[in-house]
Structure 1
């Protein structure tokens, strides 16, 4: 990912060229000045609609103000909007009003397929195998994550329990911090955070490392704070921006990594794994063979 952002924001450039804009282009400029943050979430079609202009006018507006492309315009506008918050990424959204269900279905599936294809080249097989081996032999594995990453951790907890392995997870962040402060060298701290910059998870990773636990992280493929504490860093593609509607492809990629780890762990100890899985299924499906 190219994370360089032009030094100058967009608003100064637009203001400098305001007198040269046509009436339709000026409508776009006026909307951008009025709603700069909302503009970041729109594609060309929706910006045209919101500004009561046209798609052609939006394209001309970009060229007239010296932006190489619509994306370059949004990058520079993000410089203005998020200047004080010092965030690195703009929204990974191109929202539009009432798209057809078919269009939404195609878009989500297409993004997911492309993201999963990228995962295959991003994830290091040697690191995955090493992580699976360590978790299988650990005295206990402590899982950490909040929000969507917490959902991923919870899913992994369910899988490890099915294999009869000692595991801990709670969604309570105070308890996560407490647990991290009690780890020891026989424990695994498995820390999930897409951005790798969640403050609570940074502290969890720091505590775990200071307690001589083995730290395994699952973050996006960038240099980040949480990854710096890891003995084993599992990576997913940087497929989403920090500002986004909600974790989508990142969550799917993280869950895919958990499925991969689980499959490797099952295959390494197939007989005992089958026995454990059968035991847990017998308990949860007792009296209800259709339950799953």
Structure 2
């Protein structure tokens, strides 16, 4: 019996630069799973599942098999329209092949489409023609940013914002974590908290993040940045901090992920970019906007002291620059 259970439970771990997804696969009327090392082929799994699918599920399955690169870039509603099925059919197909969600399906498709063996390169989520003019590039990015900033405002929760402000102001220290593109936002928060006289630290090196997390107490706050919410280098110290009774604030994409399940205070940003992107653009801007909102909220809690601290730090840096022959404004 034990051997039968072991044979029926196979775990595949998929590694990407900015996320980690662990998917339990239970073999249910599926002929088998094609794999190479620890990489599962979702295309093979869908192909093998076709005989057991309903007509609508077969329709979406065939579309995905014929257009995997296109399917992984579409939203669930756009994919349903392209395949002439309902979104419910896509959800049922995901359940049929034992994939937890549509987003997970897209991640697995990306693993297939852009595998090292195929030598293909993932392109950014926005498309421009070769030698696109500056006006087209700037206009597209600006309009995209404006729309996303408005969506960030819709996702902000007043209770979460001011509860986080209160915790920051009453914490012994704030430990900030983020790697890759998310490190940009993490460093920005650390710089802003320092200007307000709030003790904060930022460690970009993963071993230092783990070390620091192990020393935190309930008197501290752990602030994590991860667009995917699945970055293992962030989840590991978060888990350690939680075991020590530390409150966790997180900036991550909307829709639910491993980080949001661990966090006490969640700042959601729009799910605008593929998790297998090569470089963050709008997601990074969204994270920075959340930091600016949080920073301004902190200032308004004690305007007089905050302005005094900002002026003092600005004066010190300006004086240092003048002494070194630099005239730029702080």
Q: TM-score, normalised by structure 2?
A: 0.64
Describe the superposition over 1:76-134 as per-residue Cα deviations: whole angstroms up to 9, x where unpaired: 99876534999xx9963424322111111111011101100111111112101111111
Alpha-carbon distance between aligned partners in 2 of 1:7 and 1:273, rounded to the nearest angstrom: 57
SS at 2:267's partner residue? strand
Residue of structure 1 equivalent to 2:283: 250
Residue of structure 2 equivalent to 1:171: 204
Describe the superposition over 1:179-202 as per-residue Cα deviations: whole angstroms up to 9, x where unpaired: 111111100000100110001111
Contact kept in structure 2, 1:92 and 1:243, CA below 8 Å: no
Describe the superposition over 1:140-165 as per-residue Cα deviations: whole angstroms up to 9, x where unpaired: 00000001111101000100000111
Residue of structure 1 equivalent to 2:62: 8
Residue of structure 2 equivalent to 1:60: none
Residue of structure 1 equivalent to 2:329: 291
Alpha-carbon distance between aligned partners in 1 of 2:60 and 2:259, rounded to the nearest angstrom: 27
- 1:110 paired with 2:143, answer yes
Q: 1:276 aligns with which of 306, 309, 316?
A: 309
Unmatched tracts of structure 2, length 5 or more: 1-56, 74-81, 91-102, 116-121
Alpha-carbon distance between aligned partners in 1 of 2:285 and 2:193, rounded to the nearest angstrom: 19
Contact kept in structure 1, 2:177 and 2:224, CA below 8 Å: yes
Contact kept in structure 2, 1:91 and 1:242, CA below 8 Å: no
RMSD of equivalent CA atoms:
3.3
Moved >4 Å (runs of 4+): 39-42, 66-69, 75-81, 83-86
Alpha-carbon distance between aligned partners in 1 of 2:194 and 2:107, rounded to the nearest angstrom: 44
Unmatched tracts of structure 1, length 5 or more: 15-35, 43-65
Alpha-carbon distance between aligned partners in 1 of 2:106 and 2:244, rounded to the nearest angstrom: 44
The CA deviation at 1:290 is 3.8
Describe the superposition over 1:167-189 as per-residue Cα deviations: whole angstroms up to 9, x where unpaired: 01021111011111111110000
Q: 2:190 aligns with which of 157, 163, 178?
A: 157
Larger proportion of strand: 2
